[in-house]
Amino acid sequence: MIDGILIGLTTALTPTNLMMVAGGCLVGTFIGMLPGLGPISAIALMIPVTYGFDPAAGMILMAGVYYGAVFGGSTSSILINAPGVAGTVASAFDGYPLAKAGHAGKALAIAAYSSFAGGTIGAVLLLIAAPVLSKLALGFQSPDYFALMVLGLTAVAAFAGEGQILKAVMMTIVGLMLSTVGTDAAEGLPRFTFGRLDLIDGISFLLLAMATFALSEALIAAMKTEETASPSEEKASPTIGSLKLTSKEVADIAPTIGRSSLLGFFVGVLPGAGATIGSFLAYGMERYIAPAAEKVKFGFGALRGLAAPESANNAACTGSFVPLLTLGIPGSGTTAVMLGALLSYNVQPGPQLMTDHPDVFWAVIVSMYIGNFVLLVLNLPLIPYISRILLLPRKVLTPLILFFSLVGVYLVSSNHVDIYIMVAIMLATIGLRIANYPVAPIILGFILGGMMEENLRRSLELSDGSYQFTVERPLTLSILLMAVIVILGPLVSKILSTRKRVANDHQI
């Protein structure tokens, strides 16, 4: 392995390849910031550019673009509540409130540090455990995936405030319902399309995320009167705040980053799970284990609430390379595009990659780490400039957010009907927000809905329609038990604390 790392370092640390990774990070950051253009689009755009390169240089450039695009996506999530990709949705929950409160600099710095730490831990785990983990990941079967999706849905508890659990559950169901719109994946039958071709592909994630987050937020901000909008809101954020973290804040988020990185990496290793589930699970886990005083801060700018999804999604991105490099199975959309790029270089990923093309294998792993480092070095100084977008007056910023959100969705589909659907969803979201419904569970349900249906279908078909599959495999049962604990845990602890209080009152 040491020889391999040395090969990787020798390949990745040449001046040309260092320029590749730096250029890739910068380009990726700017592409990732545009709604609608996530890591997949950014890497796909790079494929023609890298045709003439040698495989290692091409993959190094793409690794840089990948990390840059993930960080760029987090930037738009945090600054304008516009998560362009599913993996950065959870970053908006606490990142955007922090930016609104005038701490955009700190929020972006935490995102950068957490991403760096998550990527670093992921890269180390990739170096050490890639072959073993790929075998473990292959052991996951449909019932286990289904159980994992159920566990992912229990993260809904993290979005429910006091007395809001029913509302959060309802919103998750609405998200699941929206995920069933379009052509049924297994049988090819149209569902809820009203005979319209515009709905045959279903509702896109981007459309839903932009309508529920960016558009509704921008419109509510635009509708606030001078009396109801605070002076800071009227002028957007008056400051971007300091980038510096106090030692107490670092000590507070460090364990969160460690835990979330490990969780994110292992979820990322599972083909199909990826950064989105990793980030939601990490957010849910952190809220679940946080002390009561910290728990209430989640959703209102908790530092842990931002650090958790950021480190988890970056670690999961690294984890998704495990099945690609060791088995030749792309674990996510992005790695599928990378697989295509590798094949175009006549490099076949899989068990033989390490022996046939050790320079490519190790260079990609090492360049991931270098990409993380370069991203931190390049982007930290850029944060004050990127954050300046918040200094624009609200009457200029709001039309720009509306425009970029609409255009981001329209350009992906080139279908103007998507704009009408967005407006309809945005109006419904505003109504729900006025009635105090949390909207994040809609996205959670929507993202997990398709995968959950697919795995439930396979599981039921394999077990001949019996729900015994939920208890047949120890792994499935363990994951489902974890889900039950996550849902019932807070309820049980509440009952216990009430009993304790009553007992204490009686003693007094």
In the complex, which residues of this chain contact other proteins (CB under 8 A)? 45, 162-163, 166-167, 169-170, 173-174, 176-177, 180, 184, 186-187, 189-192, 219-220, 222-225, 227-228, 394-396, 398-400, 402-403, 406-407, 410-411, 414, 416-417, 419-420, 422-423, 426-427, 430-437, 452-453, 456-457, 460-461, 464-465
Nearer to other proteins, 15 or 163 (CB): 163
Nearer to other proteins, 185 or 343 (CB): 185
Nearer to other proteins, 20 or 448 (CB): 448
Rounded CA separation 324/481 (Å): 30
Nearer to other proteins, 210 or 240 (CB): 210
Rounded CA separation 331/274 (Å): 7
Nearer to other proteins, 153 or 375 (CB): 153
Between the alpha carbon of residue 9 and those of residues 15, 60, 330, 351, 380, the distances in Å are 12, 12, 25, 21, 24
Nearer to other proteins, 450 or 490 (CB): 450
User: Shortest distance, CB of residue 271 to other proteins, whole angstroms?
Assistant: 22
Cβ 103 vs Cβ 454: under 8 Å: no
Burial of 337 (0-12, 13-18, 19+ CB in 10 A): buried
User: Shortest distance, CB of residue 457 to other proteins, whole angstroms?
Assistant: 4
User: Shortest distance, CB of residue 423 to other proteins, whole angstroms?
Assistant: 5
User: Shortest distance, CB of residue 138 to other proteins, whole angstroms?
Assistant: 24
Rounded CA separation 258/250 (Å): 12
User: Shortest distance, CB of residue 136 to other proteins, whole angstroms?
Assistant: 28
User: Shortest distance, CB of residue 66 to other proteins, whole angstroms?
Assistant: 18
User: Shortest distance, CB of residue 404 to other proteins, whole angstroms?
Assistant: 9
In terms of Cα–Cα distance, which of 196, 198, 194, 152 is closest to 175?
A: 152
Nearer to other proteins, 5 or 411 (CB): 411
Rounded CA separation 260/281 (Å): 9
For strands 190-191 and 182-183, give the pairing.
antiparallel
Rounded CA separation 459/139 (Å): 15
User: Shortest distance, CB of residue 236 to other proteins, whole angstroms?
Assistant: 12
What are the DSSP calls for 174-189, one per residue? HHHHHHT-EE-TTT--
DSSP-derived 3-state class of residue 237: coil
Nearer to other proteins, 57 or 174 (CB): 174
The CA-based dihedral angle spanning residues 407, 107, 109, 23, taken in that order and rounded to the nearest 10 degrees: -10
